[in-house]
Structure 1
Amino acid sequence: METVRFNPFHQVHQALRALLYHASITVQHTDFTQEAQAGKTITLIEELVNFFEAHAHKEDTQVFPLIAAAAPELVADFEAQHEKDHELGEELVDALHDCRNAVADLEKKLAGKKLQRALNAFTAFNLTHMNAEETVVLDTLHREYTDEQLLEREQQIVASLTPAEKAFSGFWMLKGLAMNEIIDWYKKIQAAAPPFVFDEFMQLAEKALSTEKLKTLQQSLNFSLA
């Protein structure tokens, strides 16, 4: 009987995917001739680039070394993919620069189109890249480590995050995970974390989830916000 192994990529990758999807539709809906709209979209894409850069760095320094001895060619391949990802991120940064500095309405519209094309390329690459990590890389991790060892490494990575990074990634995890996954995640936090930490996560859920989903979560945890 096949068993479901622990996937250390799943939760953060669902957050990254959710942010990509949200950013894509936001860019499509933005009128770049309107300063307020454009400013919010530019900030969102800046946050996206920073999130992906930080995530890739953590994989390069804390995940790939786990399999460097067992699969050096595989690690080299995925590190090279991260270099490509960085190049695509730089194209996004360049497009953001154009959006900020455009003056005439036509320039602003053209800059917005450039940003959309750059984001399309970035999104397509990263969706394929994350799929590969969750198959080829994950298979290698499963051959070399137990679920307990992988969970311990995930916890070490989470512990290395700043409070701002934890809040940002947690928000997008809540946006990207299925409701049953959120409930399971929060039950583990409720059982293991200090009350003030759990309260912080519930406040994060209040920001990220719809009223209906928040109510479902509260009922599942027998919890209500003050």
Structure 2
Amino acid sequence: MQSNTHELAQVAATAQAVEAGTGRVNLYAGIHKALRAFMADTLLAVGRTDPADAQEVAATRERLGTLLDLCAAHVRHEDGFVHPAIEARSPGVVEGVADEHAGHLAQIARLRAMADGLDGLAPAACALALQNMYLALALFVAENLQHMHTEETVHNTALWQAFSDAELVGIHDGLLATVPPAEMMLVMRWMLPQMNAPERLELLGGMRQGAPAPVFQVVLDGARAQLAERDWAKLARGLGLAPVDGLVMA
């Protein structure tokens, strides 16, 4: 009964946070969609890796390393910009999650060591190491899913109560200015296909206004390659681009 009560309270709190954020600037939504997708996809890739295929094992190591690099960068970005902003106006709100960030960095280091340990293993030993890494990564993903939920409910509520949308845009723009181009393209690779059509149009519409034309074109070309035809047609229509031949939109 106590567990059910807690779950119902959490559902209610989530619904309240979602309602409170309607129409507001959301610092977490897009990047967290990207991270959830990248984490899930990488976890599945580790699980299906053939331990007897050295090329496949190497590709999995590289894929996991790229994910871990992005996760570590995400922690740095939040610690450098979002958490200080929340703490400045809502002291104590980020305390528990800040501790979780330290734990995530430790997990990232352990996962890196496990991935490095795959090098040169015979198939039988590699199979055991891959399974061990798969389970460790699954726990890392699970903890991050819960962590991101807290950020998108508790932290967002604090941000919306303490900051105007203009101030939130300022925090976001300050953070983005520190993101290297390669990291930004990786985020776009995982974020754009996971957004819904209005979110995608809002992001790329804003980018077209503020980014250099060649940069925007690279992002747009990437979106064209990654999106399903119907999703691309919606985006093209919203951006005023040439229509997609043969696809009828209601």
- The change in CA–CA distance for 1:145 and 1:97 in structure 2 (over 3 A counts) is same
- The change in CA–CA distance for 1:184 and 1:70 in structure 2 (over 3 A counts) is closer
Confirm or deny that 1:174 pairs with 2:192: yes
**How many residue pairs were aligned?**
224
2:5 corresponds to which residue?
Answer: none
Q: After TM superposition, where is structure 1 displaced by more than 4 Å over at least 4 residues in a row? A: none
Superposed displacement of residue 76, structure 1: 2.4
2:97 corresponds to which residue?
Answer: 78
The one-character-per-residue Cα deviations of 1:19-54 (angstroms, maximum 9, x if unpaired) are 011111111221122111111111111011110100
Confirm or deny that 1:117 pairs with 2:135: yes
List alignment gaps of at least 5 residues for structure 2: 1-18, 244-250
Confirm or deny that 1:217 pairs with 2:242: no
CA–CA distance in structure 2, aligned partners of residues 21 and 157 of structure 1: 25
| Residues 53 and 86, structure 1, Cα contact 8 Å, conserved in 2 | yes
1:109-148, aligned counterparts within 5 Å? 109-148=127-166
Please, which moves more after superposition, 66-75 or 159-168? 66-75
Please, which moves more after superposition, 65-74 or 46-55? 65-74
CA RMSD of aligned residues (A): 2.0
The one-character-per-residue Cα deviations of 1:102-144 (angstroms, maximum 9, x if unpaired) are 2x21111011101101110110000000000111111111121
| Residues 15 and 172, structure 1, Cα contact 8 Å, conserved in 2 | yes
| Residues 20 and 157, structure 2, Cα contact 8 Å, conserved in 1 | no
2:16 corresponds to which residue?
Answer: none
| Residues 6 and 151, structure 1, Cα contact 8 Å, conserved in 2 | yes
Please, which moves more after superposition, 161-170 or 193-202? 193-202
2:55 corresponds to which residue?
Answer: 36
1:202 corresponds to which residue?
Answer: 220
Partner SS for 1:74:
coil
Q: TM-score, normalising length from structure 2?
A: 0.82
CA–CA distance in structure 1, aligned partners of residues 206 and 124 of structure 2: 52
Superposed displacement of residue 193, structure 1: 3.4
AA in 1 matched with 2:161: R
- The change in CA–CA distance for 1:3 and 1:33 in structure 2 (over 3 A counts) is closer
AA in 1 matched with 2:143: F
The one-character-per-residue Cα deviations of 1:42-99 (angstroms, maximum 9, x if unpaired) are 1111011110100001111111111223333322222101011112212211220222
Partner SS for 1:20:
helix
Superposed displacement of residue 224, structure 1: 5.0
CA–CA distance in structure 1, aligned partners of residues 173 and 216 of structure 2: 16
Partner SS for 1:223:
coil
Q: TM-score, normalising length from structure 1?
A: 0.91
CA–CA distance in structure 2, aligned partners of residues 44 and 3 of structure 1: 34
2:33 corresponds to which residue?
Answer: 14
List alignment gaps of at least 5 residues for structure 1: none
CA–CA distance in structure 2, aligned partners of residues 100 and 215 of structure 1: 44
CA–CA distance in structure 2, aligned partners of residues 97 and 138 of structure 1: 37
CA–CA distance in structure 2, aligned partners of residues 190 and 69 of structure 1: 33
State the identity %.
26
Give 1 or 2 for the bigger CA radius of gyration: 2
AA in 2 matched with 1:60: D
